[in-house]
Structure 1
């Protein structure tokens, strides 16, 4: 889902950098070419603005095409015809300008820089942000309405952390119990990844309770009471959370067989937790899926 806060921050930085370059360009051609400081500053501000623009476009592209690309997204965005012809041409010119700057070792002639930058600014300065707002509004209208209005980006980040930790745990479970028990590195890593899964699961739980304005001693039990997760999931995640401090304490010794068994159960229940949370954020509760 779109991270509007992220886009607002990037758009603000983009506009600030473009504005600083524009202020110098507006001084006029003659002053620009005879004052060495001006081309250096404009070049600096434009490179910053381009980087912010690229991050904006990558985020938009991720929502449209479900890609994970984090840079050099301009060509793909242009192919999608997201913006008007005028803004699209300015974006292409911006990319060409940035490539010229890099290829020539930041040594464009003041004359070339002045006219290139002026053309870009004339077509982007007043039009890009309004068009971006329209694109964001359209994309947001297509997103599913959340039954629980959480911060989806942060929830997704923590959900990914849980899933990643579970995958790591599965690696150690491929070994027989005896081999696992005799390998201190396996045991230490199992403890670490269990802790990662616990911490991110707890962050998600607390975030949801803050959003729905609920307080309680047992975070996961509160989710269960409101049909956000099932009882068996709440019980397991709460039980393993209760031993979190022992997991991170190197002086506390766990029975390897207990860790191995807990790891196996965790693979199932942490995934179940993320699935139930995801379902409830969209649908409101897991009651339609059946409860334990």
Structure 2
């Protein structure tokens, strides 16, 4: 989902870097070419600017394609057609500049650097923030309307954390029960991964309960079930795992290794995915799934 706070932060850094570049370029070409410090600083600020734009581009493209995009985002953004052709050309020029800069070990003509930098800076200053605001507005309008006013960015973050920790359990799923219970490394890592996932699920649970106007409860999962948000059976399983959180987090405390093996093998993944799916349905529809 769109993280406007993140985009605002990155856009502010873009503006700040553009001002620094503009302060150098305003002295003109002759001074730029005669002052060795200026080309060096310009390259430095351009790299910073590129990284900030790349971060913005990754977030925008990820939202457009509804999948996580982490690499070559500025180039991909230029191909999406959501910005003006003038900006798309600048994005592509910037991508080519970055490639050339690194491929040629920073050997870049100072005169060429000055004129390209001028074009990049002036175009971004004149068009980027205004067009970014329009793109963000369009993407926000396409986002699904929620029945429950939750912080979707943070909820997605914690849901991703849960799924990530489940994936980290995969190397241990292929073990036999005997192999697992006699492997201290597998037990130690499994305990840690499950604790991280539990913490994220507890955050999600408490946030949803709070945003739903429920009274605080010692057992958040049961509380959600009693208020028709989670299935009763799922809530019991979540409560059982969560009750072991402190024990799992303390390596000096014993844990039932056979139970831990069952969690790692499949039960924890089933419980966690069930929780995420039921929470997602609830915040979208305002009721438990039929």
Q: In structure 1, what is the Cα distance between the partners aligned to 2:261 and 2:99? A: 54
Matched residue, 1:5: 5
Which of 252, 268, 275 is the matching residue for 1:266?
Answer: 268
| Conservation of the 8 A alpha-carbon contact between 1:192 and 1:247 | yes
Matched residue, 1:206: 206
User: Which segment drifts farther, 258-267 or 150-159?
Assistant: 258-267
Q: In structure 2, what is the Cα distance between the partners aligned to 1:83 and 1:262? A: 48
Name the SS for the 2:126 alignment partner: coil
Deviations 1:183-205 (A, max 9, x none): 33343333233322211211211
Shift of 1:36: 2.0
Consecutive unaligned residues in structure 1, runs of 5 or more: none
Write out aligned runs for 1:51-70 (5 A). 51-70=51-70
Name the SS for the 2:196 alignment partner: helix
Name the SS for the 2:141 alignment partner: helix
Which of 241, 263, 279 is the matching residue for 2:281?
Answer: 279
Matched residue, 1:223: 224
| Conservation of the 8 A alpha-carbon contact between 1:170 and 1:267 | no
| Conservation of the 8 A alpha-carbon contact between 2:75 and 2:91 | no
User: Which segment drifts farther, 140-149 or 187-196?
Assistant: 187-196
Q: In structure 2, what is the Cα distance between the partners aligned to 1:213 and 1:20? A: 48
Deviations 1:83-105 (A, max 9, x none): 11111122222223333332332
Matched residue, 2:131: 131
Q: TM-score, normalized by length of structure 1?
A: 0.88
Name the SS for the 2:139 alignment partner: helix
| Conservation of the 8 A alpha-carbon contact between 1:55 and 1:71 | no
Q: 1:282 to 1:31 in 2, by over 3 A?
A: same
Write out aligned runs for 1:81-120 (5 A). 81-120=81-120
Consecutive unaligned residues in structure 2, runs of 5 or more: none
Q: TM-score, normalized by length of structure 2?
A: 0.88
Shift of 1:174: 4.6
Matched residue, 1:251: 252
User: Which segment drifts farther, 244-253 or 123-132?
Assistant: 244-253
Q: In structure 2, what is the Cα distance between the partners aligned to 1:262 and 1:87? A: 51
Shift of 1:142: 0.8
Answer yes or no: is 1:14 the counterpart of 2:50.
no
- Taking only aligned residues, the RMSD between alpha carbons, in angstroms, comes to 2.3
| Conservation of the 8 A alpha-carbon contact between 1:14 and 1:52 | yes
Write out aligned runs for 1:149-168 (5 A). 149-168=149-168
Shift of 1:167: 4.4
